[in-house]
Amino acid sequence: MKLFRMTVLLAAVGATSPLLAQTSTANGDRHVGFGASISNVSGTVAPVFIVPIDVMPYLRIEPEIGYSRTSNEQTSQFQPPVPPPTLGPITTSTTSQQRVTSPSAGTGVFFVQSREKLKIEYGGRFGYTRTTTVFSTVTTTTTTEGTNTSTTKLSGYFAGPAIGGEYFFSDLFSVGAELHVRYTSVDGRPQTTVVPPLPLPPGIIVTPPPRVTTSQKSVQMRAAVVVRAYVK
C-alpha cells in the first residue's frame, strides 16, 4: 500500500507542480504513439506493449499490456543398491516440470520534462495481473507410473513508482530506459490432479487433497529498455 500511495502522490505532483508551466520544444507536436519495453524478470524476458498518450505537454498516460512465461524441467533416477531378490532391479524415474505464465494489463501516469531530444518521466504504474503456475510430477518405476499435477491461479493488482527517459533519434522515434519498483499482491486457490500409480496396492484408498487459499505478495525491481514510435 505504501508503494501505491507513492504512485498516486507522484501522479498528483506531476499534475499540480508549478514547474509544469514549461512546454516541450522540438517534440511538442507529438501526442499518441505505440511501443514496447523488454525487462528481465526472474531470469526470463518479459515484453510489455505500451501506448504513450501525451494529454498535455507535461502529462503522459501510458496504457500497457504485458506477458511473461517461464518453464523448467528436471529428471532424476534412483536405483536401490541392493534390489529385492524376488523383484530384480527396480529403477525409479521422476520428472518434474513447472510452467509459470503471467499476463497483466494496466497504465502508467507520468510527469514529463522535455529538453530538446530528451524526455524525462516521473510517475508510476498500476494495474491488474494474473499468475498461473502448473507443476507436474511423473514418477515411473519398473511396473507402475503415477502423475501429480498442481495448477495454481492467482489474480490481483500491481502498483509502484517508476522513472525513465527517452532519447529521440528522429521526430517520431525514440529509445529509452525505465526503472520500475513493482509491488504485487495476488491470491487464489490451487487445484491438484493426482493419477495414482497403477495397479494400486490392496487396501489403498485415494482421497482428494484439501482445498486451500494461497496469497502472495512481492516487490520487484524492474529495469527495461523501451522503444517508442509516435504519430503526429
C-alpha cell at 151: 495448477
- The C-alpha atoms of residue 222 and residue 61 are separated, in whole angstroms, by 19
The string of pLDDT tens digits covering residues 42-97 is 667 788 999 999 998 899 999 999 988 888 877 776 666 655 555 555 667 777 88
Q: Give me the phi and psi of 18, to 5 degrees please.
A: -70, -15
CA separation for the pair 67, 129 (Å, rounded): 9
Tell me the pTM: 0.69
DSSP 8-state symbol, 104: E
pLDDT at 15: 40
Residues near 1 by Cβ (< 8 Å), separated by ≥ 6?
A: none
Whole-number Å distance between alpha carbons of 232 and 208? 60
pLDDT at 21: 36
Domains of the chain: 2-75+91-196+212-231 (2.40.160.20)
